[in-house]
Amino acid sequence: MKPIRLISGIVTVGFWTLASRVLGVVREIFILAYIGPGPVMDAFVAAFRLPNMFRRFFAEGAFNAAFVPIFSKKYEGEEDPLVFARDALSGLGFVLMILTALALIFMPALVWATAEGFTDDARFPLTVAYGRIIFPYILFVSLAALFSGALNATGHFAAAAAAPVLLNIFVILAMSIGAWLGEEVILWLIWTIPLAGVAQLALVWTAAGRAGIRVRPGRPRLTPDMRRLVRVAVPAALAGGVMQINLLVGQQVASQFDKAVGWLYAADRLYQLPLGVVGIAVGIVLLPDLSRRLKAEDGDGARHAFSRAGEMALALTVPAAVALVVIPLPMVSVLFERGATGADDSAAIAAAVALYGLGLPAFVLQKVLQPLFFAREDTRTPFRYAVWSMIVNAALAVGLVPVLGWIAPAVATSVAGWVMVAMLAIGGRAIGDTARFDDRFRRRIWRICAASLLMGAVLWGTYLLLAPFLGMSYWRYPALLLLLIAGLVSYGLAGQGLGAFRLAEFRDALRRKRG
């Protein structure tokens, strides 16, 4: 894969991920307007987080780290990758069906383990009931992740990246219909989620067939390749899902406070927008690219791809982090403050957004650094780092509660993210030059930071000018748009002027994507 192909792949995945995350924010706007922070939303968040947590382990965590490198090498070699994919599909489906059955039976125990603060109030039975409806979503979305991994490994990124859009479209339509009919919106919401999982699986399964990846399930077999997959996947599951575990620790702490689970969830969705667009896109495209280059013993090409991915990731993430820290309140109030969500809720969510923003570059850098290990089928090293990161997160989330209250989990998540990045960067030095950023990256990173700080100053000044309009019913929407445009233009001009990046590079990537 040539360097420009790497960038165009990131642009493709980034575009569809952007669509998904934007619709995800719209989804949260509907949830906060129709349901609002309170017992029902807390119960929904806790129930929905259960399949998402296991999805990170069984799908995005394990299969992006274990399945994709092995499949990529078989695809480039002489072995039949479809046999391996069939065995992986059969084994994963078998495990997921057992997991789903156990979860439905022991749902009260799962809720207690992840949201103990719900035990003595109405949120507990609500979460158990919602969880039993939502949890089967993991079966469909995890199998979809396998087909997505196969598509990504063969350079077909669009369908896999577009599949998550279906969940948000389905949910938004369902809540709108429920509200229009005057029925309980929460019931329309929870019953739609597993249905959306079926649609996601159907989309990527069909796309894989059209791409020549025709895989059908069979009898689960523990072949040597499956043993190798499990050996790589088990530590990768924890390493890839560390953020979800940290969020669950935060949920345990937040469950002791009224409305805090909903506040942190809304803040998480907002900062996940740039994280998903940049970090996940980079990780998805970089991993198969590095795997193929390492198989071809192209060390220089691997270092170039790694450096360009890191450079692009930070060029897009650092300014986003600055914006989340400088202007969280206008973004939160304009997007979420309506219906059942009031000004006090907006202030609480904005505080969490700013703290998550401080950790955003770290969360994205993890997506850049982890493929260095995963491409070499080394998941044990990131596993050890993930354990230390989780220990730091848990200690801070619990230890800071007496001082900071419900906001402590947001601080802990960001600090733990930077601890993880530091360990990945230091551990990567043992790999060699392919795991070190090149001179161009080192020249540009400081200019990216300088351009982002200049943008932050422009954002703050523009916010002070537009503050009266941001509080008006209808004027707040164009005012927020103008504020964001001012930040975007100022960063583009500052970055181009300081040499942080060349806008022509992004233009060339887009042209290559269309070609």
- What are the residue boundaries of the structural domains of the chain, listed by start? 3-437
Which range has highest mean pLDDT (48-62, 105-119, 361-375, 433-447)?
A: 105-119
Tell the residue number behind the tokens 């009919």, with chain if given.
181
Looking at residue 307, its pLDDT comes to: 82
The answer, yes or no, to whether residue 487 has pLDDT greater than 50, is yes
Task: State pLDDT tens for residues 304-325.
Answer: 777 877 888 888 889 999 999 9
Q: d(Cα 322, Cα 310) in Å, to the nearest integer?
A: 18
**Where residue 255 falls among pLDDT bands split at 50, 70, 90?**
confident
The answer, yes or no, to whether residue 456 has pLDDT greater than 80, is yes
Q: d(Cα 277, Cα 316) in Å, to the nearest integer?
A: 9
Q: d(Cα 185, Cα 183) in Å, to the nearest integer?
A: 6
Predicted structure pTM score: 0.72
Cβ atoms within 10 Å, residue 429: 10
Stated as kind and residue range, the H or E segment containing 14 is: helix 3-34
Stated as kind and residue range, the H or E segment containing 457 is: helix 439-470
Angle at 264 between CA 258 and CA 266, to 5 degrees: 110
Q: Do residues 441 and 307 make contact, with C-beta atoms less than 8 angstroms apart?
A: yes
Cβ atoms within 10 Å, residue 485: 11
- From the list 336, 352, 346, the residue with the least C-alpha distance to 31 is 336
Q: d(Cα 25, Cα 165) in Å, to the nearest integer?
A: 12
Looking at residue 311, its pLDDT comes to: 83
Q: Do residues 286 and 368 make contact, with C-beta atoms less than 8 angstroms apart?
A: yes
Task: State pLDDT tens for residues 148-184.
Answer: 877 877 777 777 778 888 999 999 999 999 999 988 8
Helices 299-326 & 328-336, crossing angle to 10 degrees? 80
Q: CB within 8 A of 233, min separation 6: which ones?
A: 62, 63, 65, 66, 67, 379
Over residues 5-23, the mean pLDDT reads 68
The answer, yes or no, to whether residue 7 has pLDDT greater than 70, is no
